Structure 1
Amino acid sequence: MMAMSAAILWGISGTCAQFLFEVKDVDPGWLVCWRMVVAGSALLLFALTRKNTDAFQIWKRRRDILEILLFSILGMVAVQYTYFYSISLSNAATATVLQYIGPVFVVTFYAIKNKRWPRLSEYIALGLALLGTFLLVTHGSFDSLVISEMAVIWGILSAIALAFYTIQPVQLLRRFSSPTVTGWGMFIGGISYLLYSAPYYWSGQWDIESWLAFAFIIILGTVVPFSIFLASLNIIGAQTASLLCSVEPLSAALVAVAWLGISFTGMDWLGTFFIIITVAILTYSKRPVKLPALRKMVKLR
């Protein structure tokens, strides 16, 4: 229940972001920046309250400092911005499903790194991911796209960023806890983006609905699911918990259809199904690729 609840909350938070972009005219960059700063601060406070906290140990070795800076700027900022910008160009459901092909890039990376051919299950997963993506963006027609080319490009970039975000911090996660690594990653990434884009202005229209959506993204879309997902790992294990997280694109799609009234056709559902099956195959393999995301890393959307 905790693992599935975390995934559902992540999916709903993407729909809240779509609501802020479409209805309240909030800039994606502004939301990415302040979400990382506020949520990162909350996660660092959470890390500091843990027994034998390692929140400041990460700053003692030069290599660890370089790793956390790289993860913050090229990992955290990239995966957050590409995902939210993809939502602004399409919708939360499509952007979430497209990002879920990220594990295919992870498998490809390790196959090249380890100089081995992919296994049969990985070939099947790759084929399903490509078929699912094709149905999602074309509805089965070779003549046209049902979403803009930029939405497809940013969705694929989001998947690539997720793969980098998953692979890069493996050494850090062997030495430090997830709250420490992710909290510093979000906080430093948010401050870096803040200095770059200077989003000090209030973007969009802010009323009670805007504040509720923003609060949901920060609290119920970041801090709470992060905490309960970590707790679920200790009960059911990383493999099962990660597999259950496949309900995230479904929750994003259902909420976006019911709340924002987006059009999600049979082809969209079929494409979503194929991509979820891809994640299930890669996660439930008898000899799984050693992904940090399946051990200690949490995809904080």
Structure 2
Amino acid sequence: MVGSSRKTGFFLVITGATLWGVGGTVAQKLFQQYGVDVNWLVTTRLLIAGLLLLGIQFFLKDRSQIVGVWRSKRTAVSLVVFGLFGMLAVQYTYMASINHGNAAVATLLQYLAPAMIIIYLVLRRLAVLTRRDAVSVSLALIGCFFLLTNGSLSELSVPTPAIVWGVLSGVALAFYTLYAIPLLKQFDSLVIVGWAMVIGGFALSFIHPPWKMDFAGLPLEGYLYLVFVIVFGTMIAFWFYIESLQSLSPQETSLLGSLEPLAAVMTTVFWLREPFGSFQWVGTACIIGMILLLALQKKAADTDGNDTGEAKPLRVS
């Protein structure tokens, strides 16, 4: 039974991470081929996926937490801040980076967040820079250089707006990751992320209401892609990731979660036929190497009995 449970856990996390990566690529197709507005997609994606996640919590888990998170003023305020400056910021900057560039680069730039967290904690003197941390940050910087320049010192291989939004996405993800920890120690991940999505989508709906779209001009294929991004690339991906934690350790899920940027790169290059230079592949390898190194470092620390008791990891793409 244990072996079967672990097999299920591996299936769930691999499927969830892959769906996250492919979801970004499908969003790119919606932006660039079907003319879907990025503001509309982010609004709709957050509202629908958030409500679906809360629905899962209501029917399958502790439904009292859905209302319970609002009973304390402190947690309510924290949840609103997390929804606006964490969830909404990450989702919007990530999708804007895809809109101006491609899903591969946007996802990889977002994954600079772990290196940003290391730098932040060291500068705030909340952590000591270890040799492995230094190697991880170096891999992130080298990978970023090759990814954005393809080895050329004279020009960028990625549009500047895509770079700016992608780096901001990494910053937002770093905030998202650190700020969520106290909330996740008190409430289930589905509750926190579900409400954060609803809050972010509700706020953005004042700028771009979800009902304001040329639905008649979108072909059936476009609707299928929308369903994939919202349901499979967001709700199911996150649900599977969280469920995998029932049979796998957070470190195992984090390690296998590195399939997300790989899936985004592979589908962008081979499905959408986006050009990707040889040095950009080197940069991709460096960034994924950083992710694996940090995940293995955490696993080693836990094996040695140095677990810090952190909340379960969150994913957001």
1:151 aligned residue (135, 147, 162): 162
SS of equivalent to 1:169? helix
Q: How does 1:166-245 map to 2 (within 5 A)?
A: 166-202=177-213, 205-245=217-257
Q: Deviations over 1:251-292 (max 9, x none)?
A: 111111222111122212111110011111111113379899
2:23 is the alignment partner of 1:9:
no
The match for 1:300 is: 316
Q: Give secondary structure in 1 for the equivalent of 2:145.
A: helix
Specify whether residues 119 and 232 from structure 1 end up closer, same or farther in structure 2 by C-alpha distance, changes over 3 A only. same
Cα contact 1:25–1:203 (8 A) shared by 2: no
Is 1:257 aligned with 2:269?
yes
* 1:203 shift after superposition: 5.3
1:199 is displaced (CA, Å) by 4.8
In the alignment of these two chains, the number of paired residues is 300
Residue equivalent to 1:165: 176
1:20 maps to a residue whose letter is: L
1:228 and 1:193 map into 2 onto residues whose CA distance is 26
Give the one of 40, 48, 57 matched to 2:68: 57
**SS of structure 2 residue aligned to 1:59:** coil
Instruction: Tell which deviates more after alignment, 194-203 or 206-215.
Output: 194-203
Report how far residue 153 of structure 1 moved: 1.1
Q: Secondary structure at the match of 1:260?
A: coil
Distance 1:203 1:268 in 2: 37
SS in structure 2 of the partner of residue 222 of structure 1: helix
Counterparts of 1:84-163 in structure 2, within 5 Å, are 84-163=95-174
Is 1:78 the counterpart of 2:71 in the alignment? no
- SS state at 2:34 partner: coil
Task: Compute the RMSD of aligned alpha carbons.
Answer: 1.8
Tell me the distance in 2 between the aligned counterparts of 1:137 and 1:31. 26
Question: Following the alignment from structure 1 to structure 2, what is the Cα–Cα distance between the partners of residues 127 and 300?
Answer: 24
Query: CA separation in 1, counterparts of 2:203 and 2:52?
Result: 17
Q: Distance in 2 between matches of 1:212 and 1:130?
A: 37
For residue 117 of structure 1, report the CA deviation from its aligned partner.
Answer: 3.1
User: 1:51 offset after TM fit, Å?
Assistant: 3.7
Determine helix, strand or coil for the equivalent of 2:207.
helix
TM superposition shift of 1:295 = 4.2
Q: Is contact 2:250-2:313 (8 Å) kept?
A: no
Tell me which of 221, 245, 248 is aligned to 2:260: 248
* Residue ranges of structure 1 left out of the alignment (5+ in a row): none
Please list the CA deviations of residues 142-178 of structure 1 after superposition, one character each: whole Å capped at 9, or x if unmatched.
1110112221111110100111111111111111000
TM-score by length of 1: 0.95
Structure 1 position 43 matched with structure 2 position 50: no
Is the 1:166–1:291 contact (alpha carbons within 8 Å) kept by the matching residues of 2? no
- Distance across 1 between alignment mates of 2:52 and 2:311: 22
> What is the CA distance between 1:108 and its match in structure 2?
2.0
TM-score, structure 2 as length reference: 0.90
Is this contact kept in 2: 1:12–1:221, CA < 8 A?
yes
Distance 1:203 1:64 in 2: 39
Sort the Cα spacing of 1:221 and 1:16 in 2 relative to 1 into closer, same or farther, 3 A: same
The sequence identity of aligned pairs, in percent, is: 35
